[in-house]
Chains A and B, each alone.
Chain A
């Protein structure tokens, strides 16, 4: 928190001279997943500088996770049993998407403008689609699923203004996030148009034991598997020695 205050103070002091400018920052540039990680919050903050700073402007903050290939399947009833039948495969959809804004998106800009800038859950378009059917219901299902598990969120009205020009928002990063590079984008809208954008990378990575175990499982699967078996056998043996009934 102290660091955050200092950064905020720094932002105010080095106020840039350009007419309409946006400065933003993130409370941390790396999130470490450790053994007791159950989700965390990051704070995105910034300041708008300019003569007409206070009027008619809106802020949108987007945190986007790394893209992940996804397969969506639809179950149908076959002989009384629900069976996976049709599937669609998407590439270019993020594993995590969080959007905070000063107002509902529909009031900030038109549908077309949002689609052009790629802002909002409805503007999420896969770069590649593998499907034999109309992929739209599958895309909607993907968004629905991620919303349900808390990985896609649209949170209008969640940006606080600390003063006329200084804003701040809290972004929850839940436990189920993927490792990789995230991007924090801050958009300044004026009259339905983006007038300024700031982008900051954010890294999510496992650290310590978790990281080593994950790497071991993928880089040296044979020793990893053997270690699991040895551990199981050893614990089984120890328990039989400890609990051996006095004969």
Chain B
């Protein structure tokens, strides 16, 4: 059951990897996220070098986003103009991220930065989701429908270079979408994530896009960014392992479809509460690794190319 990974240069149990892809795919289908934020740390726990883990997880995200995006596309849930504008920032962000990735690898701080980024990111997002879902559940129980906050017309409205986004029924400046795209592109290269859990809240709360196009547009944007990042990682860091990617993807797409079905049975707040708990658990595990005394303070890395 062992298979040799030509780029990671190690043997893994392929059934285990397919199962891992399926498990993360299940969660991503259930919660509508790419799952990269879970996959990268899990691969690193298994002993895959973190550079290969980050670069290869992206393919898994591309594949699981693909099936979601296709069904959104069929019901016209993608704002291609918005996705295109965000992608302009996304490409720049990806380039910056891949460059930073190579730099950190040379400095030997790669693992630390990835771990710190994860702890901060997952810790804050998990906490927000936990509080929000608990508040909503409590409100339901006491029989009060939560009131929507009034639309804030803030700094996004004053910026120049306004553009009309027909599908989203918006007339806003292109600067915020470009900045969001840039941030997500950079994070995708450094952390091996699609960035769905950043794009979706940003689209809802900053750009104020209608919920009907948020899922589809973010998925389209994620596919484009992860595809570009995969190619860049392959050309500049030689860190993409196609065998590993194939195994993860096969498990992932099957798991995602099963997850979608399971997710349909749960209520939104329950889903978010569950996801918040998973996210916080991963964050806590990574934080522990940062502060716990290592078994050997010396570590070996292959010399940078």
Q: A80-B291, A222-B234 are in contact. Are A236 and B4 (CB under 8 A)?
A: no
B242 touches A227 (CB 8 A): yes
B41 to chain A, nearest CB (A): 17
Q: Which B residues are CB-close (under 8 A) to A75?
A: 294, 297-299
Q: Which of B62-70, B145-153, B273-281 contacts A (4 or more CB under 8 A)?
A: B62-70
Residues A82 and B66 in contact in the complex (CB < 8 Å), given A73-B301, A142-B300: no
Among A7-15, A113-121, A181-189, A209-217, the stretch that binds chain B is: A209-217
- A46-65 CB mask vs B (1 if < 8 Å, else 0) is 00000000000000000000
Q: Does A38 have its Cβ within 8 Å of any Cβ on chain B?
A: yes
Which of A72, A83, A213, A244 touches B112 (beta carbons < 8 Å)? A83
User: Which of B112, B294, B298 contacts A144, CB < 8 Å?
Assistant: B298
Instruction: Check if A34 sits within 8 Å of B4, measured CB to CB.
Output: yes
By the criterion CB–CB under 8 Å, are A74 and B6 in contact? no
Number of interface residues of B (CB under 8 A): 58
Query: How far apart are B283's CB and chain A's nearest CB, in angstroms?
Result: 15
Please measure, in the bound complex, the distance between the C-alpha atom of A228 and the C-alpha atom of B240, giving whole angstroms.
8
Contacting pair A81 B291 (CB below 8 A): yes
Residue of A nearest to B227 (CB): A229
Q: Which residue of A lies closest to B109 (CB)?
A: A84
In the assembled complex, the Cα of A233 lies from the Cα of B252 at a distance in Å of 12
Give bound CA distance, A160 to B6, whole Å: 36
Contact B62–A73 (Cβ < 8 Å):
no
A138 within 8 A of B: yes
Q: How far is the CA of A81 from the CA of B115 in the complex (A)?
A: 11
Query: What B residues does A142 contact at CB under 8 A?
Result: 298, 300
Number of A residues near B (Cβ < 8 Å) is 59
How many Å lie between the Cα of A177 and that of B246 in the bound state? 23
Please tell me which one of the listed residues A37, A71, A221 contacts residue B11 in the complex, with CB atoms under 8 A apart.
A37
- Knowing A68-B302, A217-B238 are in contact, say whether A239-B67 is a contact too (CB < 8 A): yes
Q: Which residues of B contact A214 (CB under 8 A)?
A: 6-7
A/B interface sample: 9 pairs, CB < 8 A: A38-B11, A69-B302, A82-B294, A142-B300, A175-B10, A176-B9, A176-B10, A232-B230, A233-B223
Please list the 5 inter-chain residue pairs (A to B) with the smallest Cβ-Cβ separation, ordered nearest first: A236-B66, A225-B234, A141-B298, A240-B67, A239-B253
A: residues with CB less than 8 A from B are 33-38, 68-76, 80-84, 87, 89, 137-138, 141-142, 144-146, 175-176, 178, 206, 209-211, 213-214, 217-218, 221-222, 224-229, 231-233, 235-240, 243-244
Enumerate chain B interface residues (CB-CB to A < 8 A).
2-4, 6-7, 9-11, 59-60, 62-68, 70-71, 108-109, 111-112, 116, 223, 227, 230-235, 238, 240, 242-243, 245-246, 249-250, 253-254, 256-257, 290-294, 296-304
Q: Beyond A71-B303, A145-B298, A214-B7: 12 further Cβ-contacts under 8 Å?
A: A33-B4, A73-B299, A73-B301, A81-B112, A206-B6, A221-B238, A225-B231, A225-B235, A232-B245, A232-B249, A240-B71, A243-B257
